[in-house]
Chain A
Amino acid sequence: MADCLKDKVGEVLLPGDVFSFESKPEKLICGPGLRRNGDEILVCKSGILRHKQPNMYWIDSQQRRYVPAKGESVIGIVTAKSGDVFKVDVGGSELASLSYLAFEGATKRNRPNVQVGDLVYSQFIIANKDMEPELVCIDSCGRANGMGVFGAGGLLFKVSLGLVRRLLAPQSEIVRDLEKMFPFEMVVGLNGRVWVKASSTQRALIVANLLESCENMTAQQRQALFRRVSDGAS
């Protein structure tokens, strides 16, 4: 079982592809795009099969629409205040709720200063298909840990979910190449939203355009492009 899956790691799989257990079932963790169906593993998304030791498998796909998942950090836009919660647009099929108490240091008296239209970097604590998704801006110790309202004077744009995951991967080559050009601030949410702030609007736009264009490029093409741009920018 694990062998036939392992053989396919790094290959493109399509929905409907099936792997069946040959011998006794082994312990296996199915990530996004894989489903356990009785004695079989069913692929339900198109993409590349990835593997992580010891027995984690998932499909790496280039999707655009975000589906909330527990524990993921996203960039949301506050769209309404209703009673004790803020309604936050995260790009999923419904608005997520964010309690005003879920900020560092917030109490019933000391409400956080959040306005409609603000950007919040926050984390899902409830996200499943049957319940309203819920966000928080604190970690399990009650610390902000980088989360909260942000985004004065920056630029927000959307890229594909696959690119976002590549940006957030440890030692991301794209980020390393970008950093070489000029200093800038960047916030990346797993829901495909990226916020960039640089010393000038022009530079922020350069970063945004570069990210959008390197979606479908090989490493060589990307480096060539970055070199051309940095020659022009400096």
Chain B
Amino acid sequence: MEVEEQSIIALREFGCEQNLLSRPDGSASFVQGDSSVLAGVYGPAEVKVSKEIYDRATLEVVIQPKVGLPGVRERAREQCVRETCEAALLSFLHPRSSLSLVLQVIHDDGSLLSCCLNAACMALMDAGLPMGCLFCGVTCAIDPEGRIITDPTAQQEKNSRAVMTFAIDSAQHRVMMSSTKGSFSVNELQQCIAVSQRASEKIFQFYRDSVRRRYSKTL
């Protein structure tokens, strides 16, 4: 798939801190520009009998919005994050136990779902849960002129005619999750996927740098 060279993958400034909460078994905060999400992971812990799965761990994801109570929109996002995490985690190594992931939205300035995914991945890694690969979230917006904007702000999302969020895996850089808004052509979709795959390499490098920074004191 051809991606014009001029469309340099521009991501906003990223920030990440792991292990910043004392109670959860793993925690991370992820900042993309002004969007910010805090994630906490508990587990593997005791599981309710009604939710027990005999051959793998039960994963629960909760997304808390900045204001108000979680609604149907959050439920749909939770489903996306949960199924993405389930595919990355080697949950068969902890059967009959529960993993819970809580994502607290600190501020929403666009690309929220991808920020949630990134925070979730860093928190799972911090908790030391076994994973087969990493994943990252990338949001692309197509503006009315047909240009692709990566990691858009809330304003850019509002002005665009289509917004797509993908989760890309680190092993083969393929699409694990996709959630779209607005209508678009097949060609536009393939371009956005190609752009997201290129952006994912940057994000995975960022992951590596921040984990390295975390372990720098014990090297």
Q: Which residues of A contact B (CB under 8 A)?
A: 10, 12, 14-16, 18, 33, 35, 42, 44-48, 60-65, 67, 92-94, 129-130, 162, 216-218
- Kindly list chain A residues whose C-beta atoms are within 8 Å of the C-beta of B44: 65, 67, 92-93
Could you tell me if A63 and B133 are in contact, using CB atoms closer than 8 angstroms?
no
Could you tell me if A61 and B128 are in contact, using CB atoms closer than 8 angstroms?
yes
Could you tell me if A14 and B211 are in contact, using CB atoms closer than 8 angstroms?
yes
Residues of chain B from 112 to 146 with CB closer than 8 A to chain A in the complex:
125-134
- Kindly list chain A residues whose C-beta atoms are within 8 Å of the C-beta of B83: none
Could you tell me if A12 and B170 are in contact, using CB atoms closer than 8 angstroms?
no
CB-nearest residue of chain A relative to B124?
A15
Q: Which residues of B contact A (CB under 8 A)?
A: 19, 24-26, 42-47, 90, 93-98, 125-134, 169-171, 207-208, 211-212, 214-215, 217-219
Q: A62-B19, A67-B94 are in contact. Are A44 and B125 (CB under 8 A)?
A: no
Q: How far is the CB of A190 from chain B (nearest CB, A)?
A: 14
Q: A14-B211, A47-B128 are in contact. List 9 more A-B contacts (CB 8 A).
A: A14-B207, A15-B125, A35-B130, A44-B132, A45-B130, A65-B25, A65-B128, A93-B43, A162-B218
Report the bound CA distance from A45 to B218 in whole Å. 16
- Kindly list chain B residues whose C-beta atoms are within 8 Å of the C-beta of A16: 131-134, 169-171
Could you tell me if B132 and A129 are in contact, using CB atoms closer than 8 angstroms?
no
CB < 8 Å: which of A33, A61, A63, A216 contacts B217? A216
Do most interface residues of chain A lie in helix, strand or loop, or is the interface mixed?
loop
CB < 8 Å: which of B25, B42, B94, B218 contacts A63? B25
Could you tell me if B219 and A63 are in contact, using CB atoms closer than 8 angstroms?
no
Could you tell me if B219 and A48 are in contact, using CB atoms closer than 8 angstroms?
yes
Report the bound CA distance from A21 to B98 in whole Å. 35
CB-nearest residue of chain A relative to B57?
A93
* 5 closest Cβ pairs, A-B complex: A63-B128, A93-B97, A15-B131, A16-B133, A65-B25
Could you tell me if B95 and A129 are in contact, using CB atoms closer than 8 angstroms?
yes
- Kindly list chain B residues whose C-beta atoms are within 8 Å of the C-beta of A47: 128, 215
- Kindly list chain A residues whose C-beta atoms are within 8 Å of the C-beta of B126: 46
Report the bound CA distance from A15 to B90 in whole Å. 11
- Kindly list chain A residues whose C-beta atoms are within 8 Å of the C-beta of B212: 12
Report the bound CA distance from A62 to B96 in whole Å. 24
Q: How far is the CB of B11 from chain A (nearest CB, A)?
A: 19
Name the residue in A10, A16, A42, A216 with the highest tally of chain B Cβ atoms < 10 Å from its Cβ: A16
CB < 8 Å: which of B45, B133, B134, B219 contacts A93? B45
Report the bound CA distance from A161 to B26 in whole Å. 12
Report the bound CA distance from A162 to B128 in whole Å. 11
Could you tell me if A129 and B94 are in contact, using CB atoms closer than 8 angstroms?
yes
CB < 8 Å: which of B42, B96, B125, B169 contacts A46? B125
Report the bound CA distance from A189 to B211 in whole Å. 27
CB-nearest residue of chain A relative to B98?
A93
Q: A12-B208, A16-B170, A216-B217 are in contact. Are A65 and B43 (CB under 8 A)?
A: yes
Q: How far is the CB of A108 from chain B (nearest CB, A)?
A: 31
- Kindly list chain A residues whose C-beta atoms are within 8 Å of the C-beta of B96: 93-94
Report the bound CA distance from A35 to B212 in whole Å. 21
- Kindly list chain A residues whose C-beta atoms are within 8 Å of the C-beta of B128: 45-47, 61-65
CB-nearest residue of chain B relative to A160?
B19
Q: How far is the CB of B89 from chain A (nearest CB, A)?
A: 9
Report the bound CA distance from A136 to B25 in whole Å. 27
Q: How far is the CB of A68 from chain B (nearest CB, A)?
A: 11
